[in-house]
Structure 1
Amino acid sequence: MARFLRAIRFDVSDTHVFPRAAEPDESAIPGGFLYMPRPGFDAGSLAKKERQAFVSGFFGLPSFGFSTLVSVGEASEQDIETCVLNLTRFLVEHFGAPSRDAAEGLARDEIGYARALADDTPLNTLLAVKREVDAEGAIREQFHIVNPPGDKPHALVWDVVEDQE
């Protein structure tokens, strides 16, 4: 089995902070391609939930939702090929890819990038991403390992509550 990224959800916060939350345990990729420069799009002008997805979201497949954290898990080659097909479809139907072949090429690159992140990382390792736009307008992406706390914290820093709207 190959290693691959899986969306993980410890609480309901992803359902509140992203435009759409990834499903727990679905395959995930970094998703930085969503913010690449193109006509009519400026990552620096994103706001609210879209901004949160840019700053800290992994892209779930096939939900096309976002997850704050991913876990390194296992996936069969068939699972990975299904990710390529789902991402290719997304790129054609929602992202304006000029052709299916072009979309599949980008999909394979993105899936390969996710595999490379997972390959040398121990199973069940939690990863987070941080993206920003630098002074030249380039998007910078950093990944870091999230270490679970050794002891239970003495107080909550924040709490997430359901909005009554």
Structure 2
Amino acid sequence: MSAGRLPRTLRLDPSDTFVFARAAEPGEWAVTGSFLFFDTDLATLAGKERAAFRSGFIGIDSLGFSTLVVVSEASEAEREAAVEVLARHIHERFGAPDREAARAAAREEIEVAASLCNLPVGSVVAMHRSERDGEIREEFRTLHQRAAGADPLHGRAFHFVETDEDGPEEQADLVGLLNGAFAGAERA
């Protein structure tokens, strides 16, 4: 195994701490983590567990989930340390028969993760995991920074505009609207 690139967990905002039951710490070496779901009835997943299945990379130190990873340089020593940490988890927490079997599984997971890093350092990668025909499938996409001069409002859900008007504040009576909708439905 040679030095090269590996993914690290990335947290751009606190959303992972709300989306997942356990969020990875920023900067952990990461793997896709599909092995966590091999013995799971995927149809029964709900809420945070379903979110983890659909889009969570695994931080190998915490076994927490991260929506995004960033391609990073990894020395041979860092890669070997990542294999050893993951092998310890696979042996102690997931029941590998011995440390060598766990190490082989960890190396395989690290190699899969490294295969995602044939991109420039700093590239951000997201994953979508699904189940098709009884198999777990992973699809990856690279998120790119907007080009200089690109429309800064493109992709925003909200745009706030400051005004100098001192007019009345807009208000909406949502309960009244809801009651009106029920009254209309009852008459129909």
One fold, TM greater than 0.5? yes
Post-superposition CA distance 1:109-148 (Å, at most 9, x none): 0001111211x211111100001111x2211110111123
Residue 85 of structure 1 is matched in structure 2 by 84
Kindly indicate whether residue 139 of structure 2 is the aligned counterpart of residue 142 of structure 1: yes
Q: Find the aligned partners of 1:67 and 1:152 in 2 and give their Cα distance.
A: 26
Kindly indicate whether residue 21 of structure 2 is the aligned counterpart of residue 12 of structure 1: no
Q: Name which structure has the greater RCO, CA cutoff 8 Å, separation 6+.
A: 1
Aligned length: 153
Percent identity for Structure 1 against Structure 2: 46
Shift of 1:44: 2.7
Amino acid at match of 2:138: E
Amino acid at match of 1:74: E
Q: Normalising by structure 2, what TM-score?
A: 0.76
Moved over 4 A (4+): none
Residue 131 of structure 1 is matched in structure 2 by 129
In structure 2, the gaps of 5 or more residues are 159-188
SS of 1:130 mapped into structure 2: strand
SS of 1:157 mapped into structure 2: coil
Residue 152 of structure 1 is matched in structure 2 by 152
CA RMSD of aligned residues (A): 1.7
Residues 44 and 133 in structure 1, CA contact (< 8 A), matched pair in contact too? no
Q: Which has the larger radius of gyration?
A: 2
Q: Normalising by structure 1, what TM-score?
A: 0.85
Shift of 1:64: 1.1
The alpha-carbon distance between structure 1 residues 13 and 93, as it changes in their structure 2 partners (threshold 3 A), is same
